[in-house]
Amino acid sequence: MAEILRAGVASVPVGQWDAAAALGMGRWTGLRLIVLPQAIRRMIPPLCGQFISLIKDSSVVSLISIQDLTFMANDVAVSTTRVFETWLTAAGLYFAVCLVLSLGFGRLEKWARVTR
Domains in the chain, ordered, with CATH? 2-114 (1.10.3720.10)
3-class SS of residue 26: coil
Do the Cβ atoms of 73 and 89 come closer than 8 Å? yes
pLDDT tens for 88-111 read: 888 888 888 888 888 988 888 888
What is the spatial distance between Cα 2 and Cα 50, in angstroms, rounded to a whole number? 11
Instruction: Report the pLDDT value the prediction gives residue 62, as an integer from 0 to 100.
Output: 52
What is the spatial distance between Cα 67 and Cα 23, in angstroms, rounded to a whole number? 53
Instruction: Report the pLDDT value the prediction gives residue 63, as an integer from 0 to 100.
Output: 46
Q: Is the pLDDT of residue 78 over 90?
A: no
Instruction: Report the pLDDT value the prediction gives residue 115, as an integer from 0 to 100.
Output: 66
Which DSSP category does 11 fall into?
A: T
Q: Is the pLDDT of residue 114 over 60?
A: yes
Encoded amino acid at 6, one letter = R
3-class SS of residue 68: coil
Q: Is the pLDDT of residue 66 over 60?
A: no
